[in-house]
Structure 1
Amino acid sequence: MNTICALCKTELTSMDTLLGANKLSDGNVLCNKCLNETSNINEELLYNLNKFSIDDINKMLKTENKEPVSPVAVVNQILPATVDSDSSQVSKEVYKRRQRKIKFELEKLNANLSMFTKGEIKELPYLISEEEQIIAITDAQFVNTLDAGILVATPKRMISVSKGMFGAAKINDYLNENIKSVSFVTDPRSPIIKLHLDERVVEFECYMDKEDAEKFYDTIKATYNNAKEQSPKQIDPSGKSVSVSSEEIFNQLEKLGKLRENGILTDAEFAEQKKKLLEQL
């Protein structure tokens, strides 16, 4: 793969390649800065970069052809009808702003995503606003399916995005207050992350990177397996403690004991969460 931007001739950074290179039809690549600048001239570059060569882009720069290309058709092709209507109306400027913010967050998280999730990553700016922070992300597809997918955790919800090779993206939104607990089934080839909801259990297979799946689970387990401390339950990125009554703490300890009995929590996880609760008394 080329490691030099075809326009500005600078070496690509980890931010430029984190979600896959910005590849042109002739094999050349652009850095994120050049892609942002050229897409201001022709916004189709933002969505269909692999249809253009470096010669095409150089011609655009010379003529400064600013003829707009509506992204609405593209959005309707890749987003399912179940997606919130506000998300489907994201403008080019908002999409690009969210995309830059998401790339920055994924770089801070050292996200280890496979090349098969590139399509799913492109959906995130439609789904996650500038105010909502990505706390954890990993490759994760629904069990017994062939669709690639990602599982994303934010302070208020978990989002799964899956996409077949030629199908539309499938978005599933799980609000924190509807997730009773999470569990992790260890497997040397493809561990499973389970979301225990009110009336069902949703299972995601993590066959691409076992260690990354474990890291994702380690990030979220304390919030979802520690009995509800917040209403609605939320991950607090600042790490600030939440004031709760003694009665509520004892109720949470009882729930923790049941989670351990059901095999959802290990003895070590139970001890860790029990300690945190007792410290609040």
Structure 2
Amino acid sequence: MNTICALCGTLLTETDLSVGKNKLADGGYLCAACFTKAITINRDLINTLDQFYFAEITGMMLKSKIEASQNPGGIQSNANNRYEYDAPIRLDEIKDQIVALNARLSILANEEVNELANVLDRDERLLAIAEGIDLQSNREGIIFSTQKRVAFIDKKFLGGVVKNEFLIHDISSIDHIENLLYSILKIYTYRGSAQFKLHNKNDGRAFSNVQNRSTSYNENEFTQNSSPFQAFAQTIPDLVEENVYSTGKSDSGAIFEQLEKLGKLRENGILTDEEFAEQKKKLLDQL
């Protein structure tokens, strides 16, 4: 079970965990305060929260915030007091990608997430995303990577966007250092370097080897003929760092390393028992 609130990132308390109806469709949990905010917007969420994804809930809250600013007298709703999710199609796609990456973004990042619809090209797909601080400018925003670039954006309070980006072909290496509560992401280019403090200590892992994932990224691989494993490996790159189905290594150490990865894939529900057995046999045949 997750130990932090999917929206605000605070640690879940015993009270939060005892609510019983605060779980999202993608497995995250809301703290009592965020759950209360959600059901204030839509009372039906008391019994149906587990049917909604993180991106949908953040979309609801953002729309409620906008409507409240336009109508200080109260929140706009239809006759049935239900929220209607009508975000732009491109933004829906981006939020679905964020959900697929299991990114832990708080509600404070909503403005930057919505700005991605204007920042990303139509063919760009998110490979990693996190909240953090640009240590050079001391501005707080989101850091993301695609098959084309790694970038930081901060939506300014009075309008406009602060952006700092690095094209993939200019990046020489990407490193991250994990501390107790956060991690430091270091990006080295041929013209300089940049450092970012990521709020969650594990977020830096998703940016590791981003150059390799970006180079091998091929939109045509996401077809109906792709296997479930291939689709999942492309969608969540930090979970599968290399394709265990086609290893060219022949030494026993490498084989056992691949077997261990196969076991983790089965434990996470990515591989069925039959698929695990088939791939295990192929690896053992190489010994």
Using the size of structure 2 for normalisation, the TM-score is: 0.51
One-letter amino acid matched to 1:22 = M
The residue that corresponds to 2:68 in the other structure is 50
One-letter amino acid matched to 2:210 = I
Match for residue 20 of structure 1 among 58, 69, 72: 58
The residue that corresponds to 2:201 in the other structure is 210
Cα gap change, 1:192 to 1:167, in 2 (>3 Å): farther
Q: Deviations over 1:26-48 (max 9, x none)?
A: xxxxxxxxx6xxxxxxxxx8x93
Q: Deviations over 1:153-211 (max 9, x none)?
A: 111222211245556321223221111111123333442111111110111111x1102
The residue that corresponds to 2:172 in the other structure is 180
Unaligned runs of 5+ in 2: 1-35, 80-85, 223-240, 242-246, 252-287
One-letter amino acid matched to 2:200 = D
1:153 aligns with 2:159: no
1:123 offset after TM fit, Å?
0.7
One-letter amino acid matched to 2:60 = N
CA distance in 1: counterparts of 2:116 and 2:92, whole angstroms: 11
One-letter amino acid matched to 1:57 = Q
The residue that corresponds to 2:210 in the other structure is 220
SS of equivalent to 2:126: coil
Unaligned runs of 5+ in 1: 25-34, 36-44, 62-92, 225-232, 240-268, 270-274
One-letter amino acid matched to 1:170 = V
1:142 offset after TM fit, Å?
0.9
1:19 offset after TM fit, Å?
6.6
The residue that corresponds to 1:199 in the other structure is 191
One-letter amino acid matched to 1:188 = L
- Note if contact 2:143-2:151 (Cα within 8 Å) is conserved in structure 1: yes
How many correspondences in the alignment? 183
1:220 offset after TM fit, Å?
2.1
CA distance in 1: counterparts of 2:102 and 2:119, whole angstroms: 21
SS of equivalent to 1:48: helix
Cα gap change, 1:276 to 1:222, in 2 (>3 Å): farther
Cα gap change, 1:55 to 1:129, in 2 (>3 Å): same
1:137 offset after TM fit, Å?
0.8
- Note if contact 1:136-1:219 (Cα within 8 Å) is conserved in structure 2: no
- Note if contact 2:171-2:188 (Cα within 8 Å) is conserved in structure 1: yes
The residue that corresponds to 2:282 in the other structure is none
CA distance in 1: counterparts of 2:160 and 2:140, whole angstroms: 12
CA distance in 2: counterparts of 1:165 and 1:210, whole angstroms: 27
% identical aligned pairs: 19
The residue that corresponds to 1:141 in the other structure is 133
Using the size of structure 1 for normalisation, the TM-score is: 0.52
CA distance in 1: counterparts of 2:145 and 2:178, whole angstroms: 20
SS of equivalent to 2:112: helix
Cα gap change, 1:142 to 1:122, in 2 (>3 Å): same
1:120 aligns with 2:112: yes
CA distance in 2: counterparts of 1:57 and 1:203, whole angstroms: 42
CA distance in 2: counterparts of 1:195 and 1:100, whole angstroms: 29
Cα gap change, 1:276 to 1:198, in 2 (>3 Å): farther
- Note if contact 2:181-2:201 (Cα within 8 Å) is conserved in structure 1: yes
- Note if contact 1:6-1:54 (Cα within 8 Å) is conserved in structure 2: no
SS of equivalent to 1:22: helix
CA distance in 1: counterparts of 2:203 and 2:166, whole angstroms: 21
CA distance in 1: counterparts of 2:203 and 2:113, whole angstroms: 17
1:128 offset after TM fit, Å?
1.6
1:136 offset after TM fit, Å?
1.1
CA distance in 2: counterparts of 1:277 and 1:170, whole angstroms: 45
